[in-house]
Structures are given as C-alpha cells and as structure tokens.
Chains A and B, each alone.
Chain A
Amino acid sequence: MALTIWRWFVAAAAGCAAIWFGLAAKAQGKPAPAASSDYGSGFKANAYYASLATIRQSTDRLRLLTIRDSLLAIANRRPAPGLTVLLSDEFGSAGSQLDSLLRNRYAQNVGSSNTRVIVAAVMDSAQFERGLSRPRPGWLLPITVFAPQAGDSVCVSILRIGLPLSSGPSFITRNLLSRETVGSMVSACSYYAAFGPPGPDVARWLRDRGWRLGQIADWKERPEPLQRRPVGQLPLYARFAGGFDDDSWRVRSLVPTTGVTCLAGRPGKCAEAALNGRAMTSDSAWRSGVVALNGTNQLRFYLPGEIGSLGPSEGWVLSEMMRTLGPEKFAQFWRSTEPVDRAFANASGRSIDEWIGDWARGVYGPMETGPGLPVSGVITGLLFLAAGFGLSAAIANRRRVA
C-alpha cells in the first residue's frame, strides 16, 4: 500500500493521539503515603533543640555581660583614656606576647585617643549559668566587642578561651598570636576610638554584614597578596584551596561568582559585592551594640563557613580603606550621613566600585571571564585558515577539466 500524503497524515495524527491519551491516563499506582507517624516526635525534637539553643544563647550573653562588667570594674580602679589590656593568668607566657602585640597594633592604628578601650583575653570555663547549660568557648577564639553606646565612651573587646592555654594543642598559641587575631581584637574599637561612632548608613552597612568587611584592623601595613604567599604561610582561612595548576582557578575556589565578576572588571559588580548581599536582620537589638568576631581558628580552615563575596581577605577591606585614604578622608567617610557609596565617593574622589575592584585585583590578581579566545589562539586560527585557503586554491588551479 503506497504511503500517500493523506495516509501519512492520518497515521501521524493517530500516533500523536495515542501518545497524548497514554500520558494523560494515570495508572492507579501506589496509594499516597500515610502522614508520617513521626510528625509528633519530629516536632518535639525541634522544640527541644530550638528551646535549648535559645537558652544557651541567652546564658552565654549573660555570661559575656558579666565578664564585661567585671572588666570595667577592674579598669575603673585606675581609669585612664586610651588602651587598657587585661589578660588572664591562664594565658601564661603567650599572654605577655599578646599584650605586646595588642599595644603595638593599637598604637600603630590609633595612637592616642580619649576613648577608653579595654581589650581583654579571659578564660571562660563555666558550663552553667543560673542553673542552665551554656556553651563553653573551646578553641575557636571568639571575640566579642561591646561598642560604645550613646553617652558612653568605653569600647570593650573580649576574647575567650574555654580551657587554660597550656592544655590546648600547640597551634592554639600560634593562632592566638597571629596577625589576624590581634587585628580582630582591636578592630572595631580602633575605629570608634579614632573616628567616633559611624554615620547611620555606614553603621548599618557594617552591622548587617556582621562587620565582615572590618574584621581585621592594621592601618600601617598592607597584607601581602594571597597569590604570592607560599601555601604554608597563608592565613588559615585561605589555605583550603587546592587541586588546580592554574592560579585563576585557584582564585575561583576562594572567591564566589560575584567577587570573580568584580575581579574581571565588570562595572558595578564590585560595589554589588561590597554593598549588597544577604544582610543579617535578626537579633538587631543585640547586634546594634555588639560585634561578634573570631580569631584565627582551625574550623575556619577545615570547615570554612559562608565565604563572603570578596573572598577570604574581605576582612581587610575597611582597614585598607583607612590605610589608602588616610585618616582625614576616612573620617569624612566614616561619619557621613549619606549612603555608603555616595559617602565614599565624596570622601575619596573615587567610586567605591572602582576602589574595591583595584583592591581585589591587588589581593587576588586579575581575572578573565567569558568564553573569549586568547590572542595567540586567534592568530593561530587565522594562520591555519589562510593556509587552508592557499592549499585549496593551489589544488584548484592545477585541476584541468577535460
């Protein structure tokens, strides 16, 4: 039977109809699973841990406030403007080294100031507070900064350990005395001491990002670019990248996509990386006056948390702003009542997008993005193209048509 156009059309229509109705007809499969009988126990589990987490957070904060008040009482015995360093005996010989590092760093950053700054390192081993359990700090070197409030000019920075330093692994002392830990201990207070409270938009910008961009303060020396440091000398937070021969891919494993587009010079991306992003909106009352930071610790190395848009060195951004702009321009930016990008542009004469881009490329190196060919690839391709044309033309010229 010949396949005429009509027969073909009918067969195609019949086939489509069969497929359509075959898909539309739903077979009677397994009945829907019954509601989980563990729903009740699951809710109870969450209720237990959720309540416990809230209690432990509150007891930990109560403990922090108690420590803060104790430190203030000790410092008030001989009140004096400027820096006061208080260290527990449990830090042993490392305590005197830490004291020296803190004083040097603060002197380099601030010099003299009327703001009272108390920087303390204490052992906090209590596991219960008013009969309720609380987390012990362990070896993560948490740093809590109580910023000066209205009518108050005291900034208190507290680093805690949960056990005597002598009972910890040997690398804890190295972490404690690292440039990053020392910088974190004095960071927030240095800014308050030197420039006073920040303008509302700058304060919100820092607060909503948990001070990620102002974690470390070292206003005299620039941190060495990451790509030029041997792996063994990298800060712990930058040492986890590996497995690539090409440096650009190593940077891609350190810096998220937004930061990579900034490194590639895409307009507006650097400002987006610095100013936008997920903001912390919960717990605003506590965070309005308290900054939670961390010193160098192994957890940030082996299990890094959320990586910021500007990579592992983003904690240096604010410090580098201060170092490159100078105290007067930075103070103008810091105290401005305008939005952050406008405040920065007015103070520095450059857009924040441009400045962040230059800073990021200085730390991580430039980056190329997109599917473009390198110049050598284009030239090679053109040469082959020309050679191909030439060869085919030569063959065609020798052809004779009988």
Chain B
Amino acid sequence: MFEIPRAFVVVAFVASTALPAVGAAQTVAEYTRRVDSLGAAWRAAALQPPPLASEAPRVGTLSDTVREGNFVVLVDSGLADLARRAAAIANPKLDRAYGASAARLRTRTFVLRRKTGADTTQIVSGIQGTGGVLRFASAEVREPRALANSWIIKAEELITQSLEPSFREWLGAPIQSEQQTERIIANGKVHLVLAGSSAASDCANGKLQRCAQALGVVTVTDPIKTLYDEAEQRALLERYAFMLKKMDEPKYGRCINQNRQATCDSLLRTIPVEGIPTSVPPVVRQNFVHYALFVGGEGAFDRLANATGTVSDRIATAARVPTDSVIRGWYETLMHSPSSSTAINMTTVLSSIFWAMLCGALALRSSRWR
C-alpha cells in the first residue's frame, strides 16, 4: 500500500522532469541536470522490477557458491556436494580439450537448483544470464556423471562462443571436448560422403584441393559453380523456385524446361550469397577442427583462440603444421583408417544370424505345422 503512492510520485516527478521546456537548447549541461534529477528520484524510490510473467526459467535466490576448478556454481541448499563431484569429473576433460582456455569458464556462473513449482525433487541447471534469466536451462538427474556430461555440453558451447566471431560463423557448431574416437571419425566420414555437393564428393574421392574448397578454408570466388555440379545447381534453382519465379517466371521456365545453361547461370547469380547452402554440414567442419586440435597436441585450443587471420591461418596455427597437411591427415584418417569403417562388425553379423535362426526354429516347431 505504501509503495503505490511512492511509485505514483516517482512517475509524476520523472514525467515532469522529462518534459523539456519548449525552445530549450540541447546542451550537455541541461541534460546533465536532468539526468542527475532523474537519478536522485529513481534511487529515492528504490523501485524493484516486477516479476516477469514469461515462462523463461529464472536463477532464483540461491544461497551457496561452489568453486571447483573451472566451475563457479550457484547452488541450492543440499546440492553443493553433487555440484562439487560433477565439477570434479568435468574439469579434467575440459582441461585436456581446451587447455588454459578452459579457465574462461570461471567468468560464467553455472547454476544448480531445485525446480520451482510443486515438485521440488527435480533439479535444474544452467548458466546465469542477465536479468536473472537462466540460460541453457536443462532438467538434470541427481547423479554426478550425468550432471558432469550436461555441464560439459554447456561448457563446449560457452568456450566456442569465446572464439572470434568470423571463425565461429564458419564453424557453425561447438568444438567438442571429446577425445578423437572411432565414433567421431566414423561420424565425420558418413557426413562427408552424404554431404550432397560435388565438392564434398570429390573430397571423399581423394581430391584434397576440393576438400579445402568444400571445408571453406580457401576463398572461392563463385561458390555455386565451384562447389556444385550442374545437377546440384539445378536442384538449387528448384529449391528457390518460388522466389525465382516471382522475379522472372519466363526466364525460370527457359532455364528449367529448355535447359538453357546461360539462363540458368544468370538465375543462379541472383541468389544471394547467404542463401547458398554450405557444401558440407557443420559437423564435418567440426570434425576437421577436432582433428586439427588433435594434431596440434597440447595447447592447440589456446593457439586457436589466440590466433588471428583467416580460417586457414588459425587452423595452421592451432595444428602447428600447414593447413594442407592438416587436410591430408584428416582425409586419410577419415577415409582410410580402420577406425573409420562404417561396415557392420562381425559381432553384429553373428548375433543377427543367431537370432534369425532361433526365431525360424521356434516358428518351425509350432503345432500348426504338425
């Protein structure tokens, strides 16, 4: 009750102060006086922001802070031990993957609290954002290893965000902290082979110069003509048929129906650069950077984070070898390493035959056949 009249007074005072006298000049002195008056009234009123009606999760009021290695965590009462154990699991992996750069996480505050509402047995974690909003919020299991995995995913996102924007834009995905495993290698191979551009196909077939173009580590003056063959260019035109028809339907018809290449080239040039899909998906670039960091060894991520120049320069700095060598090594690992095989292994084959035969035998023993 007491606050309402005070708020009214504040609004009235602010409104009257903000309305300048007609004909007043715009001077620093005048506005300094005005800002100081407003500030004095604002502080005197001590108005608090009203609770937001949105569904965005909030940090809330938390009592304890856990500092463990790279993590600073605001925790609800009774969750400090869980936070500490999860951080202890996550820290070595992050230090191994990101080196000294993992310490940048200390500038961000993680949050671990009970879920608000009726069911407070559930827990939620995230990153403290501005205005009390909880970013990257996720429901968690009360198990240190699971919580650590969740925090590692968030940390990958945060650490990647600290990289230079143009490199981030090129990469299009967070840099993983996971060590080079068969699964990662095989995953990269599958996505490269299935990328759907002629540049990616040529790369998969061993043309390393095309790998550099497909990955985007070299500048390509005409991306459509360089990265895509005629069939893929046509598919691109059909993908943008709606817009291209609106621009010039007869021209589009001559290109698609009469196969006039010059007309099609003219249409392709009208597609804005940002509308051209990348020749490989982000997971392939992510895989490539992952390999470069693996080659670079200790301190590779720190070198990547501190490097300047083009994407190619940064990769070379991180790996400590020329980018061409990185591409060659990555290609060999991806396509010719035993670890990259996507064929079914013998265990799967034998177990499949066994179960098929068992089901067949049981079917033959059915009374229906007697």
* Chain A residues close to B by CB (< 8 Å): 40-41, 43-45, 47-48, 50-51, 54-55, 57-59, 61-62, 65-66, 69, 129-132, 146, 149, 166-171, 230-233, 242, 244-245, 250, 283-286, 288-290
Contacts and interface: CB of A to CB of B under 8 A. Distances in A.
A232 B270 contact: yes
Interface in B1-50: 1, 3-4, 7-8, 10-11, 14-15, 18, 20-28, 31-32, 34-36, 38-39, 42, 45, 47-50
Given A55-B38, A129-B35, A130-B39, A47 B10 contact: yes
Contact of A51 (B22, B34, B42, B169): B42
A47 B3 CA distance: 11
B169 A169 contact: yes
Main secondary structure on B side of the interface with A: helix
B35 to A, nearest CB: 5
A290 B26 contact: yes
B38 A231 contact: no
A190 to B, nearest CB: 21
B26 A69 contact: no
Max count, chain A CB within 10 A of own CB: residue among B32, B45, B245, B246:
B246
Contacts of A40: 1, 4
B14 A55 contact: yes
Nearest to B50: A45
B117 interface: no
Given A55-B38, A245-B246, A47 B7 contact: yes
Interface in B301-319: none
B55 interface: no
B358 interface: no
A48 B272 contact: no
Contact of B42 (A55, A166, A289): A55
Contacts of B222: none
B165 A168 contact: yes
Nearest to B28: A65
B243 interface: yes
A50 B14 contact: yes
Contacts of A58: 18, 31, 34-35, 38
Contacts of A59: 35
Contacts of B42: 51, 55, 132
11 contacts: A47-B7, A54-B38, A58-B35, A62-B34, A167-B165, A168-B165, A231-B243, A231-B247, A250-B246, A285-B21, A286-B20
B246 A54 contact: no
B35 A47 contact: no
Contacts of A233: 270
A146 B272 contact: no
A286 B272 CA distance: 41
A129 B270 CA distance: 46
B166 interface: yes
B271 interface: yes
Contact of B7 (A43, A54, A149, A289): A43
B274 interface: yes
A231 B271 CA distance: 9
Contact of B18 (A41, A54, A230): A54
B274 A61 contact: no
A165 B169 CA distance: 15
A230 B50 CA distance: 48
A286 B20 CA distance: 8
Contact of B246 (A50, A130, A231): A231
A58 B10 CA distance: 16
Max count, chain B CB within 10 A of own CB: residue among A62, A132, A284, A288:
A62
B47 A51 contact: yes
Contacts of A65: 26-28, 31
Contacts of A61: 26, 31
Given A51-B10, A284-B22, A44 B3 contact: yes
A128 to B, nearest CB: 11
B246 A55 contact: no
Contact of B22 (A130, A231, A285): A285
A50 B11 contact: yes
A57 B1 CA distance: 29
B7 A286 contact: no
B201 to A, nearest CB: 28
Interface string B165-177: 1100100000000
A44 B4 contact: yes
A180 B280 CA distance: 35
Nearest to A149: B25
Max count, chain A CB within 10 A of own CB: residue among B24, B50, B243:
B50
B4 A232 contact: no
B4 A286 contact: no
B25 A44 contact: no
Contacts of B248: 230
A82 B248 CA distance: 45
B165 A169 contact: yes
A170 B274 CA distance: 10
A62 B38 contact: no
A284 B45 CA distance: 28
Given A43-B7, A231-B243, A62 B25 contact: no
B241 to A, nearest CB: 12
Nearest to A163: B165
Given A44-B7, A66-B28, A285-B20, A232 B35 contact: no
B323 to A, nearest CB: 21
A130 B33 CA distance: 11
Nearest to A282: B19
